[in-house]
Amino acid sequence: MRLCSAEGFADRTVMEGIVILGSTGSIGVNTLAVIRQNPGRFSVEGLSGHDNVALLAQQIREFRPKQVAIGEGRGAHLQALIAELRPQPEILEGIAGQCRIAEAPSATRVVAAVVGAAGIKPVMAAIRAGKTIALANKECLVMAGALLMEEARRRAVRILPIDSEHNAIFQALQGAADNSIDHLTLTASGGPFRRKPSAEFGSISLQEALRHPNWQMGQKITIDSATMMNKCLEIIEARWLFDLPAAKIKVLVHPQSVIHSLVTFRDGSTLCQLGLADMRIPIAYCLGFPERIPSGAGWLDLAALGSLTFEEPDPVKFPALRIAYEVLALGGGAPAALNGANETLVGLFLQERIRFTQISDILQALVARLRVIGETGAPDEWQCLQEVRQWEDAIQADAWGRAFALRQATEAVTGTSTRQRSSDGSAETRVPT
């Protein structure tokens, strides 16, 4: 099947096959909304969800994929909900099921919209199968960015960033020579607590942290935005996506979320991308690339906005902004360990088992511990810092980070017990108190 002409534009006589991993989440639902805006252009070949069987069933009825994947043990329930459909999609379960649909021969693009480390194996399977990746799942780049980008390069696979900041940079870089970049600036809304004095952070409730001023997103990334860990993960993501040293990646607080990021070139020019805070815009760019296709989002009205404002970030109030550079300097599995710890702590905060401030306190303790391990080569723990040469190294470092975070959190969570899912989503660990 020929999809791209010599000029790189799609042959419109063929619908392009798309797989969406994480179709039941915020990015997944927005991706399907963009596909709805472009009838006759895409065929949905595979969809996946984890818990949300009812929504996945609804999506199957509308988009009629050939294959679907759902969390372990939920296939029969899904089957029952779509029993009368003909033809029936193949129903798969768990990470192995997601890897199978990521390799679907009839698809050329895979949208990676699973949240967290659970997305890493299916993304890798899609790269190995030569699919173009529309990547929302930043955690897999944080865990194993060098490895993932190297694998993509070797297989001439294109990674198109959905994350709005990286998508903006990717857009601004079109036509630019690699050696023309001076630095990148990731914009940050500052989250719901930009103006809150840090002395009041101790009393932040889950509901307050889930109220992002500009973006409607899944729970994990919304909490990451409140702690500014999202920006930390994005600095690491940008380091690998654009192959630039961390020192060339800066952060600028821009509360209106209209400018989605900027590239400054060595001649002094700065290019940026503007748009409403609507993820359908970067998703449409990744689905249509190199063409631009309708997204269903509205237009910016700059006159109505009147002004755009900018502030320096505050790394004292939000230590996550420092942590990104520290773990990149430590190298090896340090970012994966950080990611695993952060996922664990966000999970605990969402269950209201720990306080908001404990997320960044424990992450800072983790970085301090990693520094000691780096200096002393602590015999039982040095593996978490070794170079990530294969996926298993990243998963081992991620597991170390989860265990560290759980230990620290358990000390604070007295009189209760906590359940945590492992990085591949397959097992649970019970933490006694």
- Taking each helix axis from N to C end, the angle separating 229-241 and 356-376, rounded to the nearest 10 degrees, works out to 50
The yes or no reply on residue 137 touching ligand NAP (CB under 6 A) is yes
Tokens representing 112 are 């990676």
Minimum CB distance to ligand NAP, residue 97 (Å): 9
- 90-93: strand order across its sheet: 90-93, 67-70, 42-48, 16-21, 109-112, 132-135, 159-161
Contacting range for ligand NAP; rule: CB under 6 A; set: 44-52, 193-201, 248-256, 374-382:
44-52
- Choosing from 4, 8, 12, 51, the residue that interacts with ligand NAP (CB under 6 A) is 51
Q: In which element (H, E) is residue 45 found? A: strand 42-48
Nearer to ligand NAP, 17 or 161 (CB): 161
Residue 148 CA to residue 391 CA, distance in Å, equals 9
Size of the chain, expressed as the number of residues it contains: 433
Tokens representing 241 are 């996506």
Nearer to ligand NAP, 295 or 373 (CB): 295
Residue 280 CA to residue 294 CA, distance in Å, equals 9
Minimum CB distance to ligand NAP, residue 57 (Å): 11
- Choosing from 17, 191, 192, 218, the residue that interacts with ligand NAP (CB under 6 A) is 218
Residue 319 CA to residue 188 CA, distance in Å, equals 14
Residue 3 CA to residue 403 CA, distance in Å, equals 46
Minimum CB distance to ligand NAP, residue 297 (Å): 13
Residue 149 CA to residue 238 CA, distance in Å, equals 12
Residue 140 CA to residue 131 CA, distance in Å, equals 16
Local structure of residue 15 (DSSP, 8 states): P
Minimum CB distance to ligand NAP, residue 236 (Å): 12
Indicate if the alpha-carbon torsion angle 53, 58, 59, 64 is positive or negative. Answer: positive
Minimum CB distance to ligand NAP, residue 24 (Å): 4
The yes or no reply on residue 422 touching ligand NAP (CB under 6 A) is no
Number of residues that bind ligand NAP (CB under 6 A): 27
Tokens representing 406 are 């759980």
Minimum CB distance to ligand NAP, residue 135 (Å): 9
Minimum CB distance to ligand NAP, residue 372 (Å): 30
Task: Please give the residues from 253 up to 282 whose contact with ligand NAP meets the rule CB under 6 A.
Answer: 279
The yes or no reply on residue 333 touching ligand NAP (CB under 6 A) is no
- Choosing from 19, 27, 101, 388, the residue that interacts with ligand NAP (CB under 6 A) is 27
- Choosing from 46, 49, 332, 347, the residue that interacts with ligand NAP (CB under 6 A) is 49
Residue 301 CA to residue 398 CA, distance in Å, equals 43
The yes or no reply on residue 124 touching ligand NAP (CB under 6 A) is no
Task: Please give the residues from 148 up to 167 whose contact with ligand NAP meets the rule CB under 6 A.
Answer: 163
Nearer to ligand NAP, 138 or 402 (CB): 138
User: Can you give the binding site for ligand NAP, defined by CB under 6 A?
Assistant: 22, 24-28, 49-52, 113-115, 118, 136-139, 163, 215, 217-221, 279, 425
